A and B are shown apart, each in its own frame.
Chain A
Amino acid sequence: MIHTLTLADLTVIRGERRLFKGLNLELKAGQALALTGANGAGKTSLLRAIAGLLRPDAGTIAFRDGDGNLLDERTARGREVHFLGHQDALKTGRTTREELGFQCDWLGHTQHGFDHAAEAFGLQPLLDLEVRRLSAGQRRRLAMGRLIGSPRALWLLDEPMAPLDVRWREAFADQMRRHLDADGLIVAAVHDPLPIPVRTLDLGGLG
């Protein structure tokens, strides 16, 4: 299980622009990190780099277990990392039940993962609806279901709260607290402050 995430000397260049250079960071189990910064500062790129979806131009990203052993990157990402982007990765023609089931099955679920996920985000009344009938907030809750249905140590969240109403923001904050209490790690790109104790990394503005 991922216990420590270490970024060393990380540099990401997109096109002509250098988003960040020589970024160093260590995040341990039970800690959350809020990424802040102007639009285009590189928050999403950093999350995608950690998820292995974007190759950094320099520097390393390392995952270590509780004993300090280096984990194989591919295995760690395939088993221990959740990436919740600003797109919800849902198919509009399929039902909530099918999509939540696929997320849980594909990412590896616990015995009652599906039921826990449906309960945590109030998805039961939506299970037989097609995704195209859901509101933006409902879709986001459905996408978040995978965080609960398939327990993984490191959550990478890109503006997770944006479409949620007050009630579900609180419910999600509750889930984040539980995740940290269970020795999970969270890195979230945010504009509004997160309702949980966090460290903040400001990627600054354009430049």
Chain B
Amino acid sequence: MSRPSVQREPRPPGLRGATRVLLERELDLAWSGGGGPLLACGFFVCLTAVLPLAVGGDFRTLGPVAGGVAWLALALASLLSLERLFERDLEDGALDLLALGHLPMEAVVMIKALAQWIAVGVPLGLTAPIAAMALGLPPGLAPLTALSALIGGAGFALTGTLGAALALGARRGGLLIAVVVLPLFIPPVVFGAGALERASSGQSPVPALAFLGAYVLFAAVITAFASAAAVRNAQE
């Protein structure tokens, strides 16, 4: 039985290579592993569809709150697939494999947050203006709704990743994540709905968008270090 001799020099994937490899895997798992974008978007649409049934279909009632309701629904829909982020990797040992790669755990959690944004945040951001218009949001505000929802979605993905890491290993972690993460979702909801509010009253939405962007950057820094520490702790 002749086999090629074991090569001693592995080719390291490099930082970009390893990032791409992990991102592709995370996106594949998000799309195929149940939950994922369709579920989040379906939940989002259902929530906004229930509102007119609850408060009546009058556009004079719905129009003023359409932006705010869309943001609330966005925050809730962003919670759905967070449990999947780390819990399964911990259960099946994949987290150990990820810990022994070339990238530090800080990079691993940020790649997971990026995948969460691409798989859930972006589809939700594109659904948001449609759902908000169905509730009576002026069509002129649709591009701003999409833009703010895309930025806010990055914030949801980052703080959601942090919550998922902190809840790791706890029983009924999914519920715990919601309780940990929802308070952290308040600032983007305030800034995002505020941007729409200002635009609809003729003011510039830029300050609110700037606050939203600042929140995302802040969340990025905190999430990288705090989530990595939480994951390491859960592995012990």
Instruction: Report chain B residues within 8 Å CB of A89.
Output: 92-94, 96-97
Interface check B7, CB cutoff 8 A:
yes
CA distance A86 to B236 in the complex (A): 15
Interface check B22, CB cutoff 8 A:
yes
Instruction: Report chain B residues within 8 Å CB of A87.
Output: 91-93, 96
CA distance A87 to B102 in the complex (A): 21
Interface check B171, CB cutoff 8 A:
no
A82 adjacent to B100 (CB under 8 Å)? yes
B13 adjacent to A106 (CB under 8 Å)? yes
B100 adjacent to A51 (CB under 8 Å)? yes
Instruction: Report chain A residues within 8 Å CB of B10.
Output: 79, 107-110, 113, 150-152
A81 adjacent to B92 (CB under 8 Å)? no
B99 adjacent to A108 (CB under 8 Å)? no
Interface check A85, CB cutoff 8 A:
yes
Q: Nearest B residue to A101 by beta-carbon distance? A: B21
A78 adjacent to B101 (CB under 8 Å)? yes
Tell me how many residues of B have a C-beta within 8 Å of chain A: 36
User: Which of B17, B103, B236 is in CB contact (< 8 Å) with A105?
Assistant: B17
Interface check B16, CB cutoff 8 A:
no
Query: Known contacts being A102-B25, A150-B10, is A85 close to B96, with CB within 8 Å?
Result: yes
Interface check A91, CB cutoff 8 A:
yes
CB distance from A168 to the nearest CB of B (A): 14
CA distance A55 to B236 in the complex (A): 7
Interface check A133, CB cutoff 8 A:
no
Stretch at the interface among B27-35, B53-61, B124-132, B178-186: B27-35
CB distance from B165 to the nearest CB of A (A): 16
B11 adjacent to A111 (CB under 8 Å)? yes
Instruction: Report chain B residues within 8 Å CB of A179.
Output: 6
Other CB < 8 Å A-B pairs besides A106-B22, A107-B10, 17 of them?
A1-B8, A51-B99, A52-B99, A53-B236, A78-B102, A78-B103, A79-B102, A83-B100, A85-B93, A87-B91, A91-B29, A91-B94, A105-B18, A116-B4, A116-B6, A152-B10, A179-B6
